[in-house]
Structures are given as C-alpha cells and as structure tokens.
Structure 1
Amino acid sequence: MLPQTGEIIKNWLPWIGLAIILIVANVAWFFKYRKKK
C-alpha cells in the first residue's frame, strides 16, 4: 500500500462528508416540499 493513499483519503474525507450532507439535505427538503403539495 502506498503511504500517499492515506493522506489523499484524509484530504478528501471532509469533502465527501460535505457532499453526502448536501445530498441528504436536498433529498429531505425535496420530500418535505412534495408532501405539502
């Protein structure tokens, strides 16, 4: 295993987490908006 891989994952983890949070928030908002209609 390359030692660089761990550093790359560490750098990308916050961005992956942020992307997941944004997707979940958008999906939740979408279903909330749909229910009102």
Structure 2
Amino acid sequence: LTSNRIADKIKRSEMIDTGKRADHCPILLDIDL
C-alpha cells in the first residue's frame, strides 16, 4: 500500500523471507525519488 502521490515512483516491492517461524514479514520497497 502506498499513497497516490508516490505510487508511480515505486520500482520494486518484495517480501523478505525471515524463516519458517516468523510472525512478521519485512517488505523491501524500492522507490525512485
């Protein structure tokens, strides 16, 4: 999710695997500013 203001600047979005027992999922967000 992102604001409409920067939506067209998003180059890449990926979930970062932290293992089988993780209770969270960090997100890599590459933004072209």
TM-score normalised per structure 2: 0.20
* Higher fraction of strand: 2
Bigger relative CO (Cα 8 Å, ≥ 6 apart): 2
TM-score normalised per structure 1: 0.21
